[in-house]
Amino acid sequence: MDEGAGEREARRILIVDDRELVRFVMERALEKLNVVCELSVASGGREALEAVEEGGFDLIITDLKMPDIDGVELTEGIRARGFDAAVVWITAYGCTRFDAEAKRLGVFRCVEKPLEVKMMREVALEALESRGSPADV
């Protein structure tokens, strides 16, 4: 997070993936956004739901396939609780098979692995811009 940002509020981003390396790479990539951000990570859907309930997020980036609660169930849980954060799904299984669920749940975008750092930064910025004011969840 950029400490010298003055009065701008930090955008809150939650990265959810059961693989530590993916969380690490995503966190490092998003630290270099041109936006003041507060980054949090969760290793699974249950942990992510707890984090969401504790505080609002502007953007949630989640893997679709996780052992406890998958990305679709996580997004359903977020929406059922009345939170309206931008959600980006990441998957190695192809996005088209999740089109109906993504539309139903208002998912901002689905991105296929392997992830490209530059593209993930661009998607994150677009998603944050679509949200308007910080922490609108």
User: Is there a domain that residue 136 lies in?
Assistant: no
User: Is there a domain that residue 56 lies in?
Assistant: yes
User: Is there a domain that residue 6 lies in?
Assistant: no
Cβ-based neighbours of 69, under 8 Å, separated by 6 or more = 44, 45, 46, 48, 49, 77
pLDDT of residue 2: 42
Which residue(s) pair with 90 in the sheet? 63, 111
Indicate which CATH number applies to the domain containing 29: 3.40.50.2300
User: Is there a domain that residue 2 lies in?
Assistant: no
pLDDT digit string, tens, across residues 15-67: 999 999 999 999 999 999 988 999 999 999 999 999 999 988 999 999 999 99
User: Is there a domain that residue 100 lies in?
Assistant: yes
Total tally of structural domains belonging to the chain: 1
pLDDT digit string, tens, across residues 55-102: 889 999 999 999 999 999 999 999 999 999 999 999 999 999 999 999
Which domain covers residue 101, as residue numbers?
11-130
Instruction: Determine how many CB atoms are found less than 10 A away from the CB of residue 60.
Output: 29
User: Is there a domain that residue 135 lies in?
Assistant: no
d(CA 88, CA 15): 10
